[in-house]
Structure 1
């Protein structure tokens, strides 16, 4: 059975430029939509967080204004998360994961990854290991793309230099009111690291597939980026 490691931030706050803590966590739809896609594909899904800490959903992701003022959509998301029970509330410790046990790794978003996964050596190791195997897929969406940053080759270089990547853009961060508050901006940091960064229309679906690397820009890109992972793994299976 195809196995996917679904990585979620365990941070419940994001430290801003002025040192204040902004309540955050994982973005509901950026976890739920990929989980649904992978479940429907029949994959064995392992949910992991740094420290095995129960992840916190960002309540802003369940606000009416973030869900087209559709309370039923919010209720459905809360019900989906609750139905996962201990699979979500007692995740696997990321530190205990063996990269070779998985066919793909997917990092969901929310501002949480900016606090922990963007500086997490273990997720960097997992990305580096799987990226080297063209039969495996590495993927992330929105701020989860920040988890690519700690990846390192044996010689210390970044394995994603020159790769086509997308993620939450500076334009989108500014629109949310964090452009001048964030300690660093994801797009800027990825470009500085050597990524060939491409942003699509603000808050619209945008996915980039570069070899066995899949990245999605924002919440609207969660489902299509997960579908791109399934397509990539299906292509490998068909060989």
Structure 2
């Protein structure tokens, strides 16, 4: 049985270019689907957030239209309610990486607000990458990679093949024109080899111990890929 750390955003908004605070948080499917995969395999999940704050779910991610209908929306909500760690997260700053067998960062626009500039999260990601532990990051979760630094100030993720929420998807979601920056652009700027798949379709990229997913539909396949590495 493995112990998997879920690092969730603590933000409940995303500040847009004009200063507007767009309500957000974590994306429900990107937490619920991997949790179900890991628990079905007998693994434990621990939730951490910056400061140990109770994370906010993006209300839009609970809507039937993004969960395949009413039944899917109910299932996602029920899964989130069953994850005790969401209501009682540990502080990211207190995480001891040696206690965990794998690390997973779900998305939602929240990471664009806090994890993208969190030195504590960046340090954890750098250690996790170097440790060889399976490290999974999905959708907007790769925003957290922007805060990771090598001793020389560069990114430890430079040169890695990876993916994340694309400019096309952000445009189709209606927020690209309002954003201060776009995730795909920033990941390319840090030196990553960004792999873009079809919009909204499952797309997972594996490079060494790093497993990344492009969008919400990629979260369950990403969790399956992490399980293979844990095995």
Give the TM-score taking structure 2 as reference length: 0.97
2:56 paired residue number:
56
Query: Does the CA contact (< 8 Å) of 1:51 and 1:94 recur in 2?
Result: yes
Alpha-carbon shift at residue 101 of structure 1 (Å): 1.9
- Distance in 1 (CA, whole Å) between partners of 2:83 and 2:31 is 12
- Distance in 2 (CA, whole Å) between partners of 1:84 and 1:126 is 23
1:75 paired residue number:
74
- Distance in 2 (CA, whole Å) between partners of 1:65 and 1:44 is 30
Structure 1 segments, 4+ long, off by >2 Å, are none
1:94 paired residue number:
92
- How many residue pairs get aligned? The number is 231
In structure 2, runs of 5+ residues without a counterpart are: none
- Distance in 2 (CA, whole Å) between partners of 1:84 and 1:2 is 17
1:114 paired residue number:
112
SS across alignment from 2:140: helix
Give the TM-score taking structure 1 as reference length: 0.94
In structure 1, runs of 5+ residues without a counterpart are: 235-239
| Structure 1 segment 44-193 matched on structure 2, within 5 A | 44-68=44-68, 70-85=69-84, 87-134=85-132, 136-193=133-190
- Pair 1:230 & 2:227 matched: yes
What CA RMSD, in Å, does the superposition of the two structures yield over aligned residues? 1.1
2:192 paired residue number:
195
